[in-house]
């Protein structure tokens, strides 16, 4: 579990706990995600309002909705991309800056070389 988490990290943690079943009571979520009671209430309200999590009254547990599962999948993919860094085909190349006069001289040299070849 990481600390100094972003809001999205905390949301992801809550949704993961609620997708596992069983321990997704308010207290279970609070302890598993290392949140205070006030923070947990705010996040659960937010997630419920945005249909990412739902409360099962009969079982008295929270469950991650289909929309919440899609969020987890997308968030996991983005997190993996960030951790992995750029793909080999996406490495940046550096170009040297040249002055206009140098560019003209280079173009003249290229023209002369092409004339010599023909």
The answer to whether residue 114 is domain-embedded is: no
Does residue 27 register a pLDDT over 90? yes
Residue 1 above 80 pLDDT?
A: no
Is 56 a domain residue?
Answer: yes
Quick check: is 109 in a domain? no
- 32, part of any domain: yes
Residue 38 in domain:
yes
User: What is the pLDDT confidence band of residue 73, given thresholds at 50, 70 and 90?
Assistant: very high
Full residue range of the structural domain in which residue 21 is found: 7-84
Quote the pLDDT of residue 19: 92
Residues of the chain above pLDDT 70, percent: 77
Domain count, the chain: 1
Write the CATH number for 28: 1.10.10.10
Q: How many residues are recorded in the chain?
A: 118
Quick one: pLDDT at residue 103?
62
Cα dist from 15 to 9, 26, 32, 50, 52, whole Å: 10, 12, 11, 12, 8
Could you tell me if residue 48 is inside a domain? yes
**Domain assignment present for 113:** no
């Amino acid at each position: 579990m990481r600390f100094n988490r972003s809001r999205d990290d905390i949301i992801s943690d809550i949704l993961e706990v609620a997708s596992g079943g069983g321990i997704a009571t308010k207290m279970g979520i609070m302890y598993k995600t290392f949140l205070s009671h006030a923070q947990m209430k705010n996040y659960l309200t937010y997630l419920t309002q945005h249909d990412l999590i739902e409360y099962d009254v009969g079982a008295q547990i929270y469950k991650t909705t289909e929309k919440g599962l899609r969020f987890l999948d997308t968030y996991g993919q983005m997190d993996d991309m960030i951790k992995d860094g750029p793909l080999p085909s996406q490495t940046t190349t550096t170009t040297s800056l040249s002055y206009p006069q140098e560019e003209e001289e280079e173009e003249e040299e290229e023209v002369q070389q092409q004339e010599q070849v023909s």
